[in-house]
Structure 1
Amino acid sequence: MHEYRVGGVTIELTRGDITKQTDIDAVTNAANAQLLPGGGVAGAIHRAAGPGLAEECRPFAPIRPGQCVITGGHNLPNPHVLHCLGPVYGVDEPSDELLASCYREALRIADEHEVRSVAFPAISTGAFGYPLRAATEIAMRTVLDVAPTLRSVERIRFVLFDGDALSVHTDVLAELGPGADRPS
């Protein structure tokens, strides 16, 4: 696990399964517009949470790219799930602003609900086709901009599917976060 401090917020980067983050208050679902089980992160989160999650999501659907809603965690080890609809690259425009909105809105909602820790996947980089490095730069810039304004959120973890994604996130955070202190 790689850790960085930005003001009062710790940013963590790790490779793993977002459904197994037992020490995190809210995991983020890279959702589809209908907030239904699907493939990738959405499928994994819905499978782990059980059918109650889809039932709770139903009244919130559909959501638009860049939007986020919060639900309970159901059978997940986390009390909350933040559902963000990232942009489909090359279709939903302006994709950079919509992707940044996902991270900004998730952190705003988490802070409003007094959530102390949030885990994110690499939103829009799977089936939605967003190039990994470009998406990572947007995610890191947004998190670094928002972190100093957070009142409740103390820890933001990026849970990445593979070593390549972890490496890109580590490099981008090191490049963009000159003010970030890396704990020893």
Structure 2
Amino acid sequence: MQTLSGLALFVLAATISPGGATTLATASGMNFGYRGSLPLIAGISLGLAGMAAAAAAGIEGIFVAVPAVQTAVKIAGTAYLLWLAFQLSRTGAPKTTGSVAKPASIAGGAWLVLYNPKGWAMTTGAAASFSSIGDGPADVAVILGVAFGCFASVSLSVWCLGGQLLRHVLTQDRHWRALNIALALLLVTSILPIWIEP
């Protein structure tokens, strides 16, 4: 049980800390509310759960063995995040966006985390640290997948609800635009660690 509590603390800290996913959850909560953001939250949570399960099963070794795969994923992921930041920077108050802005889909949320080397490092670290939590790689994959999926859902919901609270504070379109531009810049900043080697 001590191992499970240690895993829970590790995963909670990893999923609630600020980053690209939490920034998008906050922005989505501001612009679309919690209910409209559920596909994004579900997609990110499912993506992170799959990533954790794959890391426990040893898939991360592909990135080590074939660096070109990791580079391709970084490029595609960076392009996707830049596109999201551009869309976010053009968004005003929810009532003025009409059909121009739409909440992210489940697939969009899942893609957001699957490209991220930081996510792979986090889940691989968990797989290495908690490899004795199950009776084999399959057990560890299930436990880590469930843990990351559940905690990501809770953590992203907290960030999203915080964004939704901002809807009541922001009263003018220029306030919305300024905050969305700030969040877009944070999203762009979250790309830097992807390219800076530790």
Could you tell me the TM-score, scaled by structure 1's length? 0.25
Greater per-residue strand proportion: 1
Rg larger in structure: 2
Could you tell me the TM-score, scaled by structure 2's length? 0.24
